[in-house]
Every structure is written in C-alpha cells, then in structure tokens.
Amino acid sequence: MADIIQLLPDHVANQIAAGEVVQRPASVVKELLENAIDAEASTVKLIIKDAGKTLIQVIDNGKGMSNTDARLSFERHATSKIKCADDLFQLHTKGFRGEALASIAAIAHVELKTKQEEDEVGCALIIEGSDVISQEVVVTPKGTSVSVKNLFYNIPARRNFLKSNTVELRHVIDEFQRVALAHPNITFAFYNNGNETFNLPVSNYRQRIVNIFGSKTNEKLVPVEEDTDVLKISGFVGKPEFAKKSRGEQYFFVNNRFIKSAYLNHAISSAFDGLLKNGTHPSYFLNLTVDPQTIDINIHPTKTEIKFDDEHTLYALLRAAVKHSLGQFNIAPVLDFDR
C-alpha cells in the first residue's frame, strides 16, 4: 500500500485560493479598498494603469501595521478581524477571511508600505508569487500603500483571459463606485493612467451620489426612510420617469456592503408597479442596516451574496417603504438637498 496524499506547498494553495478571490483587476481593487476602510482610513486613493493590468495601488491614511503584522498579513487565514467562529455573526468589518492579500501576492508582484501612528519609521515589503523578496525599514506616512503589479504574471492562461482595457476599466469603476457610495464619510480619489477620474470629498449621501453620477441626478432622487425593530432603510430611489432600459444604477447595500439580491431587487421593482414604462428598470441607492446576527455573509468568497434569517419580512418592509416614498413624492416632490 502506497501513500499518495501530500499537503500542497503554501504558494500552490494560495494560487488555488486566488482563483476564487481574484477574477480580474476589479477584484483586487475591491479587496484593497475594503482593507483601507477596515483600517479606518478617512482618505483613500486608488491609482491604476492599463485598467489595473499593470498597476493597482491603494493608498490609505488608516491605522497601518506593525512590522510583524505586515509580514503576517500575506499568510493565508491570517486576519485581525475575527478570532473565533462566533465572530462571523458579529461582523463590523468588510474582511474576515484573511485570504485576500495571500491570494493577490500569489499571482502578482506586490509592494507594501505601512506605518502606524506611534512608530517613527514604517516597513516596506516586496513579495512576488508568494516569495518575500525584501523587507526593509522606510520613511513613510501613517497608513498603508499596497501596489499590485503585473496581475496574473505567473498564470498566462488567466492573464490572456482578461478582457479589453475598456471592459476591465468598467469593472474597476463599478467596484470603486460601490465602495465610494457605501462610505460618503470617506474622501476617495481615483487616478486612471495619471488622470483624475473621481475626486469625492466627504459629503452626505445625496451629494455623494451626485458627485459620482453627475448633477442631473439630483432632481431624480426620491428619499426612502424607514426605521423598524428589524431593520433600518435609508437612501433614494430614482423617479419613475428616469427609469432606464438597462439595469444601470441599482445599488443595494446591507450594513455598508454592496449586495446582489434578485429577491430584494424584485421587492423594489414591484413597489414601482404601474409607474414604469414596459421594459424599463428603476434606479435605486438603498442601504439596509440589520443586526449582524441575522445575516450570513460567508456564502461566497467575494461576499456579494448574503443569507438573511427572515427574507420575507425584509421583502415586505422594503417594498412598503419604497411604495410609501413614491406615493408621497407624487403628492409633493421632495428636492431637499440636505437629506
């Protein structure tokens, strides 16, 4: 009898995990932006070249990492965000799986610079395909900068599978907008091939939407507010006459996380019953706040799907809240810029 099972070396395991977490440049953008937010940054800058194929850099002014943590952050299942399984139902951070940096470092050239407030100097780390090339002391501002270069350099099949720069850039912008919409209290900047594409100062929600989608959006927005024992809803729906043929501006966030839910999308669309021209879709920017104990986000590595304890109640509340707002607006349009 011959034994044939082996434990895979770390770099191979990381590369396999990367297949789930990193599909394209936009996936890296999402993970790095979320890490900056979890680090409590108030300013976040995204820099990309060639739609992220050659460079994706995120610079934040968050809490930074110690030297030891900087090295550990690239290990798989290494996280500061949860300590035990129960914490999965108390999540107040975007991350918790501890696999994004390990996955990214397995399939790209990564440079990290980080410094904590209390330290004089920071740490610079270079990692290529999971191998640490160097770790040095550097002078760097408080916060963290992560540069990801030459994505999929060691997996030609994945690199060739990437779409045109136009398509990949569209995905990157989508991710950036989702994160920026969920956090109007954070300043975001986005540079694409050296050009400033977005510059979003701290603002209220309406203003953030307008800063992203243009000043014409302002008059389209109808506020939706609801506060019950089970959930809080806040945000805006687009007036019916601005509904589009394409499913463009449909943003649904749960506890500040962009979520895809066909079921709750239906709740919103059905609240527009009779108000929309055939074949058009409403736009919406809605935030749900629920007790983290009543949801499970650990369904898919990209964390864009969610399981609610009581989906039916949420459906009913969401539909009623949107209907109510649309009804009110029919009587008296609300265009108050302060909401």
Residue numbers of the site for Mg ion (CB under 5 A)? 35, 95, 100
Q: How far is the CB of 26 from Mg ion (least distance, A)?
A: 15
> Between 144 and 234, whose beta carbon lies closer to ligand ADP?
144
Q: How far is the CB of 93 from ligand ADP (least distance, A)?
A: 7
If you ran DSSP here, which 8-state letter would residue 85 be given?
Answer: G
- Residue closest to Mg ion (Cβ): 95
Residue 79 site contact among Mg ion, ligand ADP, none (CB < 5 to 8 Å, cut-off depends on kind): ligand ADP
Q: How far is the CB of 127 from ligand ADP (least distance, A)?
A: 12
Q: For residues 42 and 45, what is the distance between their CA atoms, to the nearest angstrom?
A: 10
* Cross-strand bridge partners of residue 45: 59, 189
Please provide residue 293's backbone torsions phi and psi, each rounded to the nearest 5 degrees.
-70, -20
Q: How far is the CB of 31 from Mg ion (least distance, A)?
A: 5
Residue 250 site contact among ligand ADP, Mg ion, none (CB < 5 to 8 Å, cut-off depends on kind): none
Residue 25 site contact among Mg ion, ligand ADP, none (CB < 5 to 8 Å, cut-off depends on kind): none
Q: For residues 265 and 258, what is the distance between their CA atoms, to the nearest angstrom?
A: 13
HSE-CB at 334 with a 13 A cutoff on CA atoms is 16
Q: How far apart are the first and last CA of the chain?
A: 72
Q: How far is the CB of 97 from Mg ion (least distance, A)?
A: 7
Q: For residues 191 and 49, what is the distance between their CA atoms, to the nearest angstrom?
A: 9
Closest alpha carbon to 63 in 141, 137, 179, 121 = 141
Where is 321: in which H helix or E strand?
Answer: helix 311-331
> Between 114 and 283, whose beta carbon lies closer to Mg ion?
114
Greatest CA span in the chain, whole angstroms? Answer: 81
In this structure, what token pair is assigned to residue 327? 């009804």
> Between 64 and 184, whose beta carbon lies closer to ligand ADP?
64
Q: How far is the CB of 36 from ligand ADP (least distance, A)?
A: 5
Binding site for ligand ADP (CB under 6 A): 31, 35-36, 38-39, 60, 62-65, 73, 78-81, 95-102, 144
> Between 144 and 261, whose beta carbon lies closer to ligand ADP?
144
> Between 30 and 208, whose beta carbon lies closer to Mg ion?
30
Please provide residue 278's backbone torsions phi and psi, each rounded to the nearest 5 degrees.
-55, 135
* Cross-strand bridge partners of residue 295: 308
> Between 65 and 268, whose beta carbon lies closer to ligand ADP?
65
R_g of the chain, CA atoms, integer Å: 21
Q: How far is the CB of 197 from Mg ion (least distance, A)?
A: 23
Per-position DSSP letters for 217-267, written without gaps between them: GGGGEEEEEEE-SSEEEEEEEE-GGG-BSS--SEEEEETTEE---HHHHHH
Residue 175 site contact among Mg ion, ligand ADP, none (CB < 5 to 8 Å, cut-off depends on kind): none
> Between 280 and 304, whose beta carbon lies closer to ligand ADP?
304
In this structure, what token pair is assigned to residue 321? 């809240």
Residue linked to tokens 């943590």: 69
